[in-house]
Amino acid sequence: MSNQRALVEALAELDLNPEQSIAVRERGHCVVLAGPGSGKTKTLTTAMARALVEDVVDPRGVACITYNNECAIELETRLARLGIHTSDRCFIGTVHSFALNQVIMPYARCIPGLLPPEFRVADTAERRTAVETAYRAVFGDQFDPHERWRFAEEKRRCDIDRTLQAWRARNPELASFIEAYEADLRRRGLIDFDDMPLIAFRMIQSRPWIREALRARFPIIFVDEYQDLGHALHELVLLLCFEGGMRLFAVGDADQSIYGFAGANPELLQSLLARPGVRAVRLRFNYRSGAKIIRASLGALGEERDYRGPDGAPEGDLAFWKVKGGHDAQAGAIATTILPKLLERHPHEEVAILYRAAWLGDKIAAALDEKAIPYVRTNGNALIKRSSRLARFVENCAAWVAGGWRDADPPYARLLGQALALVFGGRASDAEEQTVSRQLISFLHSGVGAGESAHAWLQRFSRELLPPWRAVARNPQHEWEVLAELISKTDPAQDKDMPLNIFAGRTEGSGRVSLSTLHSAKGREFDAAILYGMNADDIPSHRDRKSPAALREARRLFYVGVTRPRKELAIVFQEGNHSPWVAELSRRSKGEA
């Protein structure tokens, strides 16, 4: 299907929803306020495709900044269905990737003394050493430098513009600590992860020609999940769009802002709405969940919203499970009763078990292991790290070998693009692209039908692809050690090996149980979901109650969990000790005030 035909069909589909139609056709600054299940990703990708086809003349393109690599992959997949593939015209990646690959790598060498010529990204040990060295230089006492660095990190993420008086006026000792830390990294030819948007901001702020170069290449910038991306992204948007002339299309939902610990601030999204020339579009329909779950979600949020399902949408189901006992007893009830009933009602569909913290995932995993119920973990204890580009690339390659080649899921073009980004960071020459493509195709085809386990396939990946790629790599963000971790995590000597299709997540037709923290479930949807451990002491916790801001964020986290399922939601808690928000949710689900 041609790009034009695919786009026409997508636009016609969105015409059934006036708000979505207005948003994708807007040619000025636009902020889309998109609640759960409102078609946010469809709206965003259709707007990107329309802009590339109708507004932006080749070779100019668009850039889309996402919260994490998982979101980037989802957007690439959706755009591919519209006939748009990631290329020099279409950048999709995190704010750190944008800063590194679109600003620092192309232009840093033009600014004398900014960075060491062959800089690279520091690893964990190198960052810890720099913190300790800087602490001794600034404070010289015997207290824990890493404890104090936590406060320095918060200042570093929030006080972006260091030309302002507030940089040193507010806690000057922390400012000196940060500057000493960064100076130590630079002496060793290093930057860190948080450096990327900060350095990019300073480059764009001090060199208007960089701003002009970016606008010439990307006249429109799209931002997904704006509320999660923090102060550095916000300041970059103000520079590039409201001073630099790029057009902004931002999508977000302040009600789903749950990453305050990482610097996210829902007020930044709200501040865009007050700027002149910005059109706000609110998506009101929830296409994901049944009406009963939508009503209940307002009880979870504790605030009024005008979300509703489309006419004729099913009611959905909501169940409350009181369990006599704590977390272990609740995990046991899920494994023996609740989950089997859900799987019986939802055969060949995805059921998720969601919880507040990773240690609760260990408990539910142990309970499922005891009953021999297979599952996939998608939180911090997962086999595949969502934050690692290399790990996601390896998983996608495994999916292609395990059957994805039949229906181009994932498409080879995406695999090649990911490989080139891993090796070269930015652009590759035609000869480099051909070499990497030849190596990748040879490796992928040799695995089709070979019957290799995940461990054996990963070992061969390490032997055949890593040495030639590492030899020519220009990407300063090294991740090669991730492959060694995957090999270790599938060690057959520890009974951890698995079939390649299971490793790749290609378990369609057999039902799928996903275990995830509430944070890791953000942005995902399931046919049915179980909220585990919704007890009075867990959500909100004692720590949540220490400040109004923390309590509001915990409530938004609960809301995120409630809005994940399409058809059925089960809430599990200790009898006589349920979260106060569970009671509000129950009242709303029954239509009570």
State how far the Cα of 439 lies from the Cα of 464, in Å rounded to an integer.
8
Q: Are 579 and 555 in contact (CB under 8 A)?
A: no
CA dihedral 560, 563, 568, 573 (to 10 degrees): 30
Helix (H, G, I), strand (E, B) or coil at 92: strand
Q: Are 248 and 241 in contact (CB under 8 A)?
A: yes
Closest to 530 (Cα-Cα) out of 573, 501, 499, 491 = 573
Helix (H, G, I), strand (E, B) or coil at 137: helix
Q: Are 277 and 29 in contact (CB under 8 A)?
A: yes
- Per the listing, tokens 């329309």 go with 50
Q: What angle do CA 243, 249, 254 make, to 5 degrees?
A: 105
**38 annotated as ligand-binding:** yes
Helix (H, G, I), strand (E, B) or coil at 257: coil
State how far the Cα of 264 lies from the Cα of 270, in Å rounded to an integer.
13
Which helix H or strand E contains 570, and what residues bound it? Answer: strand 565-574
Q: What angle do CA 252, 253, 258 make, to 5 degrees?
A: 110
**39 annotated as ligand-binding:** yes
3-state SS, one letter per residue, for 433-482? HHHHHHHHHHHHHHHCCCCCEHHHHHHHHHHHCHHHHHHHCCCCCCCCHH
Closest to 227 (Cα-Cα) out of 65, 84, 371, 378 = 65
State how far the Cα of 551 lies from the Cα of 539, in Å rounded to an integer.
9
State how far the Cα of 405 lies from the Cα of 420, in Å rounded to an integer.
20
Q: Are 105 and 191 in contact (CB under 8 A)?
A: no
**41 annotated as ligand-binding:** yes
Q: In sequence order, which residues have a C-beta less than 8 Å from that of residue 263 and are 6 or more positions away?
A: 154, 157, 158, 230, 231, 232
Q: How far is CA 180 from CA 137, 174, 436, 483, in A?
A: 8, 10, 40, 33
State how far the Cα of 290 lies from the Cα of 338, in Å rounded to an integer.
20
**42 annotated as ligand-binding:** no
Q: Are 310 and 297 in contact (CB under 8 A)?
A: no
In 247-383, where do the E strands start and end?
247-252, 278-283, 317-323, 350-355, 376-377
Collect contacts of 175-183 with beta carbons under 8 A, ≥24 apart: 176/138, 177/134, 177/135, 177/138, 177/139, 177/148, 177/149, 177/152, 178/134, 178/152, 180/133, 180/134, 180/137, 180/138, 181/130, 181/131, 181/133, 181/134, 181/149, 181/152, 183/134
State how far the Cα of 262 lies from the Cα of 260, in Å rounded to an integer.
5
Q: Which two tokens stand for residue 39?
A: 């078609």
Backbone dihedral angles phi then psi of residue 118, each to the nearest 5 degrees: -115, 55
The total of other beta-carbon atoms located within 10 Å of residue 211's CB is 19
The binding site for ATP consists of 34-41
The binding site consists of 34-41
